[in-house]
Amino acid sequence: MSAEITVSKEDYLKAIIEAESEGHEVIPALLAQWLHVSPPAVTNAVKRLRQDGYIDAHRGDTLKLTQKGRDAAHRTALRHHLVERMLTEVFGMEWHQVHAEAERLEHAISPAFEAKLIEKLGQSGDCPHGNGVLPLTPAQMKKRGLQALSEAPEGTDYVVASLYERDARLLEFLHQIGIGPRVPVRVLQRNYDETVVVQTPDGPVTVGKSAAGRVWVRPKPASEPRRPKIK
């Protein structure tokens, strides 16, 4: 971690750049919700970030990163991405556990170790949840040919391509019901209450709209090899 920026500042800046990437207008109330801190704590943090030149001071309630702030936020997001990949690709850690672990380790990565991780893993690969360094908006997901499971029609075979990773409880829930990265799925039934019945390798499960909307799938190619169940 750079001597000129604290862990707390890194958390705020990364939250801002991630929220922007998801298409949100970033205001203090959103940061309080995302970071699970009080509104007064956000007010004080934003004041310091503005004073230090990380946030534009002339934007009213909407928080916009300066180039300095954007560079710092992207460095933290990249370290998080590299740590997630290291934990799964090198150490074999389960996909649904690595996000929380990377949240802790991302601040301890030195520039030298970061360079080694980039040398070993590269910067272009997806994380264990199927995401790049920064999340994509729904529109960008659709341009990549992906579809939210909540909107997928009945009777088509899909493969899970991307999962929303900021919600640890969601990841644990999806793991428990057998929905995970690269898992083949099929929507068996769309219900009046907006739940969907999904066929997984472990059997059918019912998924609510909120959770299904954070699972992105791609059509399963006819030649897609059958994969073992994710434990």
Other Cβ atoms closer than 10 A to 121:
15
What pLDDT, in 10s, does the model give residues 211-220? 999 999 999 8
- Structure tokens belonging to residue 231: 């434990």
Domains identified in the chain and CATH numbers: 1-128 (1.10.10.10), 138-219 (2.30.30.90)
> What's the count of helices (H) and strands (E) in the chain, helices before strands?
9, 6
Q: What beta strand segments (E) does the chain contain? A: 147-148, 157-163, 184-190, 196-200, 203-207, 215-219
Q: How confident is the model at residue 2 (pLDDT cuts 50, 70, 90)?
A: very low
- Structure tokens belonging to residue 160: 């899970």
Q: Quick one: pLDDT at residue 3?
A: 41
Q: What is the mean pLDDT of residues 146-164?
A: 95
Name 60's Cβ contacts closer than 8 Å, sequence gap at least 6: none
pTM for this prediction:
0.86
CB 102 within 8 A of CB 89: no
